[in-house]
A and B are shown apart, each in its own frame.
Chain A
Amino acid sequence: AQSVTQLDSHVSVSEGTPVLLRCNYSSSYSPSLFWYVQHPNKGLQLLLKYTSAATLVKGINGFEAEFKKSETSFHLTKPSAHMSDAAEYFCVVTPYNAGNMLTFGGGTRLMVKP
């Protein structure tokens, strides 16, 4: 069994300040972990992916996430928020190499203030 908890449904930051979106997971298997972003009226775009290689994963648009097995966490960060980062973000878990079993978190809506 697997599950994902995104600890904040909404996060608000000022432009130029750091972003932290928190995700905790549980999985009976060695997991693959993803962050997807959904801009308004758009589909889901893959931001980054962890698959048991380096624990610090770099993604697109300056985002990165760190896999911490001891804390079962996969938090998403960015040093400096941009207005274009405003979107909904989903943390996703699946057993490694089992692409049919994605489990999504409930999503975190990121708001960026000027």
Chain B
Amino acid sequence: DADVTQTPRNRITKTGKRIMLECSQTKGHDRMYWYRQDPGLGLRLIYYSFDVKDINKGEISDGYSVSRQAQAKFSLSLESAIPNQTALYFCATSDLRGIDTDTQYFGPGTRLTVL
């Protein structure tokens, strides 16, 4: 969905490096999410945020941190990357109000490789 953008789209890094993945959205949604995708496991939730002052851990938050800089921006950081964090990372948004609050809209993904 062009309304949700992620940068970078691809990144190769080395073990121990700090990495930040960024997500921006123009949908005006309050809620934002970070997921990782691994083959055969679908997507798993890392962190989510319901507004700028609200950050919550998801299913697999260990080794990750997030920052919600503004309603439209939500960043994911790997403080010290390790090889098993090699995955495809997705940002998503959803609306807080209205009849479509349980539908999430996804960005194009960031492919991260940790050597």
Residues on A lying within 8 angstroms of B by beta carbon are: 4, 9, 32, 34, 36, 41-46, 49, 51, 90, 94, 96-100, 102, 104-107
Given known contacts A51-B102, A100-B48, A42 and B40 CB-to-CB distance under 8 angstroms: no
Residues on B lying within 8 angstroms of A by beta carbon are: 1, 4, 31, 33, 40-45, 48, 50, 56, 90, 92, 94-95, 101-109
Residues of B within 8 A of A99 (CB): 31, 94-95, 101-104
- For the complex of A and B, list the 9 residue pairs with the smallest distance between their C-beta atoms, beginning with the closest: A104-B42, A44-B106, A99-B102, A43-B108, A99-B94, A43-B106, A104-B43, A32-B102, A99-B101
Closest to A36 in B: B106
CB distance from A66 to the nearest CB of B (A): 19
Residue from A36, A43, A105 in contact with B4 in the complex, judged by beta carbons closer than 8 Å: A43
CB distance from A70 to the nearest CB of B (A): 23
- Count of inter-chain pairs, beta carbons less than 8 A: 57
Residues of A within 8 A of B43 (CB): 44, 90, 102, 104
Q: Are A104 and B103 in contact (CB under 8 A)?
A: no
Residues of A within 8 A of B33 (CB): 100
Q: Are B108 and A42 in contact (CB under 8 A)?
A: yes
Instruction: State the CA gap A106–B108 with chains docked (Å).
Output: 19
Residue from B40, B90, B103 in contact with A106 in the complex, judged by beta carbons closer than 8 Å: B40
Q: Are B42 and A106 in contact (CB under 8 A)?
A: yes
Residue from B40, B41, B45, B95 in contact with A102 in the complex, judged by beta carbons closer than 8 Å: B45
Instruction: State the CA gap A43–B58 with chains docked (Å).
Output: 20
